[in-house]
Amino acid sequence: MNVNCKLTHEAFGLEFNKSRFLNLDELLPWFENEYKVHELINEFWGITCKSRLIAVTRDIQDKAWQGLVAEWDTGTNIAGQFRVNKIFIDRVLKNSLGDNGKPFKLKQITPLELSVFENFFVELENFWNDYWRLSIPNSNGNFIYLIWGIEIDDKDLGSIAIGVPPGLVPSNLKIKAAYDLRSTLANLDIEVPLDLDVGKSKLKISEIRGLEEDDLIVFENSDIRHLIWNKSELDQLLFNVGLPAKDNPNYRDLYYDLNVNSMNRDENHSEDLLTDLPVELTAKFKSVQMPLSKILELESGGILPLGLLIDSQLTLVAPGDKPIASGNLVIVGNQFGIKISKTNIKKAVDAKLSNTDTRMQAPSLSGRESLGTREAFQEQEETGSFLNSRSNNFNSFDEDSDDSLDRELEDIGIDPKELDELEDLY
């Protein structure tokens, strides 16, 4: 059996963009009514269907709404819209007027069928008049579209959209001072993905390269009482955390003894600037799905049970959101840590720059060849060309060192172009 699957926003012609969460206080009140669109459809067409308000949005895809469009009177200079899609038209006509056995084509709809739909739109307007009122006459702005999914014969999902011009509000809308937006949000059965920060720690690049399975990193600035939700680049929120009991057998691997050793830190300083370069790593629970009602509760000081996150993957990321490793959350004293289970680091291959050594070491010569070389050296020293030659050698060495630095950074997942973000770490 061939099944044609579509995403919800494709099936209902929804257009997603970055501004879709703006002015939610204008969209959410339309959800508070209990619309019984299916009762109107069942009575008019003589069929049995179910209806559900799927979305309230400012953006729809016109090409996804191939069907019929009608206007309804708003009492202003801008008319409202009724839209029904092709699937809805096909199913109600076949169920009410009979199936002629031919594939439905919108261009071949008959005058009789159009006349029936004109009457349906009149009834729909009478039905809809009970759900809106005029607030600000002749105001400017975008339409708000209410979209219903219509299930017919328990199989086909058609859709109806009502376009509401600016200046119209739900008939039962409370005054703004009495309207509780948070209460409406809390009653919505939706989940939101969160990125929660556990803590940060600075490691040398040499230490990052050496990360292995079962290594333990403790985050110095973490606090087991809180996790951080980065709502935006400029807005952070602390969530209170509830810890499971230490004697709970389900969390036997969560707590570590205070005397446990974390990964061995190399206290010796290398002559190589690269290996001593510290990089700040952040541990994140990425894209944790959480009910919107729970998030509102946490914003008001509620407690997030840590057990809800234990099964989520904890990722260790470098600047630029580059994943370095993943592992399991642990608690060491009053701080969080991560026990590494997998690394994404390319292991560096030991190699010597033999061509560099060749340039930096004087060749061993003897006999007449050596005498000629000494004479050439004296001539270069007198003319200054020797200094120019040595300078070229050093320039060449520096360029190769830069290339080596870029390769080493790429090996641990850091884009060399993003070194500006590490400027304060040099």
What tokens were used for 87? 């699937």
Give the pLDDT score at 403. 64
Instruction: Give me the residues of the chain with pLDDT under 50, please.
Output: 1-22, 177-179, 348-374, 376-377, 381, 383-399, 420-426
8-186 is classed in which CATH architecture? 3-Layer(aba) Sandwich (3.40)
Distance CA 401, CA 264 (A): 28
Other CB atoms within 10 A of residue 308 CB: 13
Give the pLDDT score at 88. 92
Give me the helix-helix angle, 385-411 and 367-383, nearest 10°. 100
DSSP string, 91-135: HHHHHHH---SSPP-GGG--HHHHHHHHHHHHHHHHHHGGGEEES
What tokens were used for 66? 């191939």
Pick the closest to residue 279 from 211, 214, 177 (CA basis). 211
- Helix or strand holding residue 151 (H, E): strand 144-152
CB 374 within 8 A of CB 362: no
Give the pLDDT score at 268. 52
Give the pLDDT score at 135. 85
Name the segment(s) of the chain with CATH classification 3.40.1550.
Answer: 8-186
DSSP string, 318-379: ETTTEEEEEEEEEEETTEEEEEEEEE-PPPPPP---HHHHHHHS-----HHHHHHHHHHHHH
First-to-final CA distance of the chain? 62
Give the pLDDT score at 271. 52
Give the pLDDT score at 415. 62
Give the pLDDT score at 162. 96
Give the pLDDT score at 390. 43
Give the pLDDT score at 311. 77
Give the pLDDT score at 302. 83
Give the pLDDT score at 36. 92
